[in-house]
Amino acid sequence: MIHTSESLKAQDGEFENWHYQLEDGDQYRLTGGELGWLDFVDGRYSIADHLNNNMVDGVYHVDCWGMGQAMEDDSIFCKAVCLDDDTALQHIFFYSSIEPD
């Protein structure tokens, strides 16, 4: 199953949204806006390198520790630099990233 922004946002509740907590190997198809963000930050931030190294045809193959390490390298753990807080991808980063030791 490949998760999409629409399929995840359809499950949103008023409080915690744990359905954004994906596991290693889960797949998420980036939206056009998220791909545009990725193009904008490409070559500037570790999170872009992480996504590009774990993505095939716009589908990100989740690596929870790797995403946490990339955001830690960017000095903002559990949040991707310059990515809109309303995107499903930002929610995935928040709920799924594992803080490096």
* Percent of the residues in the chain that have a pLDDT greater than 70, as a whole number: 100
Query: Phi/psi at 24 (nearest 5 deg)?
Result: -50, 130
Q: Estimate to the nearest angstrom the gap between the alpha carbon of 23 and the chain centroid.
A: 12
Tokens of 57: 């045809």
Q: Which of 56, 57, 50 is nearest to 92 (CA)?
A: 50
* CA–CA dist 42, 23 (Å, integer): 24
Q: Which of 100, 53, 50 is nearest to 77 (CA)?
A: 100
pLDDT in tens, 56-71: 999 999 999 999 999 9
The pLDDT value given to residue 46: 97
DSSP conformational letter for 15: S
Looking at the whole model, is its pTM more than 0.85? yes
